């Protein structure tokens, strides 16, 4: 009986880990799919973001304001940057989010610059490492991991036919790598700004539910995204949806990003704490490399993977510093609470003595 209970406990402990790994894998698959649709089938990134944003907002309303973590500006920049680069660069720039958040918090004086603190030192070192990794990804590609090849379309099903042309992981002939990196960096910065605004809003209005704030923001972001994209993409032909793989991609991205991933993230946070979910972000590098080599017929560069790995090391260093800082704050708050309770108890003793003396 005890053996069954122990196995059940182990399965419960492993479940959040397994689910988070699957979530990262699905995210990278959809990212590669979106990249190939934009590259080979000329799907506009603005049209893609609008339709996925609209569908995600509908899902939010239908499922009682399910948490939706993306915003219009970051999505437009991210998918436009993806169309100019590759999923491995998306992973690397996504790992820059803690770096930009840390730098913005220093600029806005929301973080104390205590050089004696080990947590602050870790954040500084992690920031430097992440920036170095981003520079490597941007400026150095290196040799190919696997040379491109042409596959026969007769050997595959409809989904994977012509995979050599459809699953484009990195296409140097058609991409603007540096521009894509700049756009992706802008997407990470916009998410960092949004996170700071959200935290500030919740501190000013603690009675407001987080889900309510994010849901309304997502809905307003959809309206903003539609107006902006209609201004950029004025041709009606690009807005016409057909019953093809692009439509399936839009539906899957909206459902996965707007409902599945957000619910899984919330569930894991409730079970394991706020720092559990972000620790799985670097898994995207592993999946991007594996899928890029196994599914792609085009070229994946050693330099891109190396830079992404370096950025991942910086990411983990910053996260360690953040966790250490939170633990130190909890210890300080606990000590302050203990001193306060001790002072209150000492203050009550003379009052009791006076009552007894009377």
- Percentage above 70 pLDDT, the chain: 65
225-258: per-residue pLDDT in tens? 777 777 777 777 777 777 777 777 778 877 777 6
Q: Which residue has the higher pLDDT, 328 or 134?
A: 134
Assign 301 to helix, strand or coil: strand
Number of compact structural domains in the chain: 1
Predicted pLDDT at 329: 78
Average pLDDT, whole number, for the chain?
71
Question: DSSP letters along 123-151, please?
Answer: HHHHHHHHHHHHHHHHH---SBSS-----
CB 105 within 8 A of CB 111: yes
Q: How confident is the model at residue 313 (pLDDT cuts 50, 70, 90)?
A: very high
pLDDT in tens, 50-72: 777 777 767 666 654 434 344 45
Does this model's pTM top 0.75? My answer is no
73-77, 84-88, 171-175, range with the lowest pLDDT? 171-175
Report the 10 Å Cβ neighbour count for 85. Answer: 28
Domain range enclosing 108: 2-357
In the predicted structure, residue 284 carries a pLDDT above the cut 90: no
Question: Does the pLDDT of residue 129 top 90, yes or no?
Answer: yes
* Residue 33 pLDDT > 60: yes
Report DSSP state, residue 208: S
């Amino acid at each position: 009986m005890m053996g069954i209970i122990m196995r059940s406990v182990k399965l419960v402990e492993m479940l959040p880990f397994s689910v988070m790994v699957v979530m990262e894998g699905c995210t990278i698959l959809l990212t590669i799919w979106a990249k190939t649709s934009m590259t080979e089938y000329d799907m506009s990134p603005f049209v893609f973001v609008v339709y996925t944003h609209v569908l995600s907002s509908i899902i939010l309303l239908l499922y009682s304001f399910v948490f939706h973590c993306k915003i219009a500006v970051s999505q437009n920049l991210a998918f436009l940057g993806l169309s100019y680069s590759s999923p491995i660069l998306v992973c690397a720039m996504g790992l820059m989010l803690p770096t930009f958040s840390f730098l913005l918090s220093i600029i806005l004086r929301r973080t104390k610059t205590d050089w004696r603190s080990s947590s602050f030192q870790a954040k500084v070192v992690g920031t430097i490492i992440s920036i170095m990794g981003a520079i490597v990804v941007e400026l150095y590609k290196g040799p190919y991991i696997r040379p491109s090849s042409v596959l026969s379309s007769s050997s595959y099903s409809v989904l994977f036919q012509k995979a050599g042309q459809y699953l484009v992981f990195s296409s140097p002939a058609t991409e603007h790598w540096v521009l894509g990196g700049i756009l992706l960096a802008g997407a990470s910065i916009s998410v960092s700004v949004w996170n700071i605004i959200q935290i500030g809003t919740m501190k000013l209005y603690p009675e407001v539910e987080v889900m309510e704030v994010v849901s309304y923001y997502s809905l307003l972001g959809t309206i903003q995204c539609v107006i902006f994209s209609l201004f950029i993409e004025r041709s009606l032909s690009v807005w016409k949806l057909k019953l093809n793989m692009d439509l399936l991609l839009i539906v899957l991205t909206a459902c996965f990003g707007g409902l599945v991933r957000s619910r899984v993230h919330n569930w894991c946070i409730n079970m394991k704490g706020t720092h559990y979910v972000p620790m799985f972000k670097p898994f995207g590098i592993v999946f991007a490399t594996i899928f890029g080599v196994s599914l792609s017929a085009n070229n994946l560069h050693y330099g891109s993977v190396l830079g992404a790995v370096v950025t991942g090391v910086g990411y983990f260093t910053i996260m360690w510093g953040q966790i250490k800082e939170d633990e130190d704050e909890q210890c300080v708050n606990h000590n302050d609470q203990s001193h306060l309770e001790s002072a209150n108890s000492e203050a009550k003793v003379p009052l009791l003595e006076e009552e007894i003396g009377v």
